[in-house]
Protein backbone atom coordinates (compact mmCIF):
# COMPACT_ATOMS: atom_id res chain seq x y z
CA UNK A 1 0.00 0.00 0.00
CA UNK A 2 1.34 3.44 -0.94
CA UNK A 3 1.20 6.07 1.76
CA UNK A 4 0.68 9.67 0.65
CA UNK A 5 1.02 12.57 3.03
CA UNK A 6 -0.96 15.72 2.28
CA UNK A 7 -0.43 19.02 3.96
CA UNK A 8 -3.31 20.90 5.48
CA UNK A 9 -2.73 23.77 3.06
CA UNK A 10 -4.48 21.79 0.34
CA UNK A 11 -7.62 21.45 2.39
CA UNK A 12 -7.60 24.95 3.86
CA UNK A 13 -7.36 26.82 0.57
CA UNK A 14 -10.47 28.87 0.17
CA UNK A 15 -11.42 29.42 -3.41
CA UNK A 16 -13.87 31.91 -4.78
CA UNK A 17 -16.86 31.32 -6.96
CA UNK A 18 -16.55 28.05 -8.92
CA UNK A 19 -12.90 27.68 -7.87
CA UNK A 20 -11.81 30.98 -9.41
CA UNK A 21 -9.75 33.58 -7.59
CA UNK A 22 -11.21 37.09 -7.35
CA UNK A 23 -8.86 38.51 -10.03
CA UNK A 24 -9.93 35.75 -12.41
CA UNK A 25 -13.59 36.58 -11.79
CA UNK A 26 -12.88 40.27 -12.46
CA UNK A 27 -11.16 39.54 -15.78
CA UNK A 28 -13.99 37.20 -16.81
CA UNK A 29 -16.61 39.86 -16.06
CA UNK A 30 -14.57 42.47 -17.95
CA UNK A 31 -14.36 40.11 -20.96
CA UNK A 32 -18.12 39.48 -20.92
CA UNK A 33 -18.93 43.20 -20.68
CA UNK A 34 -16.43 44.11 -23.39
CA UNK A 35 -17.77 41.34 -25.64
CA UNK A 36 -21.35 42.50 -25.20
CA UNK A 37 -20.47 46.12 -25.93
CA UNK A 38 -18.49 45.07 -28.99
CA UNK A 39 -21.47 43.10 -30.32
CA UNK A 40 -23.76 46.11 -29.87
CA UNK A 41 -21.22 48.43 -31.49
CA UNK A 42 -20.54 46.17 -34.49
CA UNK A 43 -24.21 45.46 -35.17
CA UNK A 44 -24.78 49.06 -36.19
CA UNK A 45 -22.46 48.54 -39.17
CA UNK A 46 -24.64 45.67 -40.45
CA UNK A 47 -21.81 43.12 -40.47
CA UNK A 48 -22.46 39.42 -40.76
CA UNK A 49 -23.12 37.71 -37.42
CA UNK A 50 -20.27 35.29 -38.22
CA UNK A 51 -17.76 38.13 -38.56
CA UNK A 52 -19.03 39.75 -35.36
CA UNK A 53 -18.76 36.40 -33.57
CA UNK A 54 -15.15 35.89 -34.61
CA UNK A 55 -14.16 39.42 -33.60
CA UNK A 56 -15.85 39.09 -30.21
CA UNK A 57 -14.36 35.62 -29.67
CA UNK A 58 -10.83 36.90 -30.36
CA UNK A 59 -11.35 39.89 -28.07
CA UNK A 60 -12.72 37.80 -25.21
CA UNK A 61 -10.02 35.14 -25.61
CA UNK A 62 -7.33 37.82 -25.33
CA UNK A 63 -8.85 39.38 -22.22
CA UNK A 64 -9.47 36.05 -20.49
CA UNK A 65 -5.98 34.88 -21.48
CA UNK A 66 -4.48 37.88 -19.73
CA UNK A 67 -6.13 37.32 -16.40
CA UNK A 68 -8.40 34.34 -15.94
CA UNK A 69 -6.28 31.47 -17.29
CA UNK A 70 -3.27 30.95 -15.03
CA UNK A 71 -1.22 27.81 -15.73
CA UNK A 72 1.71 27.67 -13.35
CA UNK A 73 0.73 30.98 -11.73
CA UNK A 74 1.47 32.98 -14.88
CA UNK A 75 -0.99 34.49 -17.29
CA UNK A 76 -1.54 32.51 -20.47
CA UNK A 77 0.65 34.65 -22.72
CA UNK A 78 3.61 34.61 -20.32
CA UNK A 79 3.24 30.84 -20.02
CA UNK A 80 3.21 30.36 -23.81
CA UNK A 81 6.19 32.70 -24.19
CA UNK A 82 8.17 30.79 -21.57
CA UNK A 83 7.46 27.51 -23.39
CA UNK A 84 8.91 28.93 -26.63
CA UNK A 85 12.24 29.96 -25.07
CA UNK A 86 14.96 27.32 -25.33
CA UNK A 87 15.65 25.37 -22.16
CA UNK A 88 19.28 26.07 -21.29
CA UNK A 89 20.74 23.99 -18.48
CA UNK A 90 24.26 24.60 -17.32
CA UNK A 91 26.30 21.72 -15.98
CA UNK A 92 29.69 21.12 -14.47
CA UNK A 93 31.98 18.20 -15.03
CA UNK A 94 32.69 17.69 -11.34
CA UNK A 95 31.73 14.20 -10.22
CA UNK A 96 31.77 12.76 -13.73
CA UNK A 97 33.21 9.33 -14.37
CA UNK A 98 36.82 9.34 -15.46
CA UNK A 99 37.20 7.17 -18.58
CA UNK A 100 40.84 8.04 -19.21
CA UNK A 101 42.61 4.90 -18.06
Per-residue pLDDT, 6 = 66
User: What's the CA gap between 51 and 55, in Å, rounded?
Assistant: 6
Per-residue pLDDT, 37 = 97
Domain ranges of the chain: 21-84
Please name which of 60, 88, 87 lies closest in space to residue 76, comparing C-alpha atoms: 60
Name the pTM for this structure.
0.62
| φ, ψ at 69 (rounded to 5°) | -90, 120
Provide block-wise average pLDDT over 10 residues at a time, the chain (101 residues). 69 67 87 95 94 95 84 80 77 61 53
Buried b (16+ CB within 10 A) or exposed e, 45-67: eeeeeeebeeebeebbeebbbeb
Using alpha carbons, list the distances in angstroms from residue 52 to 27, 44, 46, 97: 21, 11, 10, 64
Per-residue pLDDT, 89 = 72
Per-residue pLDDT, 79 = 82
Taking a C-beta distance cutoff of 8 angstroms, is the pair 42, 88 a contact?
no
Amino acid sequence: MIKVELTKNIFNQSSGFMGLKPIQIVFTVIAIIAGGLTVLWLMQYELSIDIIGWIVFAEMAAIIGLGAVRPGGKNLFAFLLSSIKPDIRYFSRIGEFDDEE
